A = this chain, B = another copy of it.
């Protein structure tokens, strides 16, 4: 079992309840990465419906989740549908709610609908060996998460300021060799440094208020290419949009979040 699967596992603990344990291996500083923390809620949700793929996942980050700490997960079906099911769930630690999640699941493997297609090709960026490993960058915070994922960013987008756009291109994969899955896409959509940093430098902490991720296609094995851009920043609140492509160049997820810039 991959470390991601093992460290996001949930155990039934009564009607609509599950127990989990967040590892500190996915921490950003002292807190769990948000995409990692929400995955245990997704796993509980998926156990309740026949549909395997999270086609829409909205998470509100109420308080930071903590690594090396037990968690209580709640989940319930809002509507069980033939092709799409909707669920809500939450993560609690030490008696306090950390996350509220609203999601829709479907089956991306069927390919039965057919019809016209629109697809955005990934931007052309330097190959992985010409990108910069995130671990070699000064980022103002300890990154235990780099024990779990390999993140390489475009050399022109290294998050130290001086770029003319709030944009980061890069490559990402699990460091234990596990292959990406649709259940891991919300995590991969939240694993780059804030895209404000190439434009503004390390000006502060950028906690997410709300993140929505749409899984679009089942990812092929291999590295994921990722782009994240902050296209609106006003009065300390920013909107960041992201895309993930698999090793065949297929778009596998889109994401958008609203975050606070705390300087």
A115 and B236 contact, CB distance less than 8 A: yes
Mark out the residues of chain A between 26 and 73 whose CB falls within 8 Å of any chain B CB in the assembled complex.
55-56, 58, 60, 62-63
Nearest B-chain residue to A110, judged by Cβ:
B235
Q: Which residues of the partner chain B approach A114 to less than 8 Å between Cβ atoms?
A: 235-236
Of residues 192 through 207 on chain A, the ones whose CB sits less than 8 Å from some CB of chain B are 199-200, 203
Is A246 an interface position by the 8 A CB rule? no
Interface residues as binary, A115-139 with B (CB distance below 8 Å gives 1, 0 otherwise): 1111110000000000000000000
Number of copies of this kind of chain in the complex: 2
Are A235 and B60 in contact (CB-based, < 8 A)? no
Label chain A's interface by main secondary structure.
Answer: strand
Supposing A58-B102, A104-B210, A209-B55 touch, asked if A232 and B256 sit within 8 A by C-beta, the answer is no
**Is A78 interfacial (CB 8 A cutoff)?**
yes
Count A interface residues, CB 8 Å. Answer: 55
A217 at the B interface (CB under 8 A): yes
Which residues of the partner chain B approach A116 to less than 8 Å between Cβ atoms?
200, 203, 233, 261
State whether A62 touches B88 (Cβ < 8 A): no
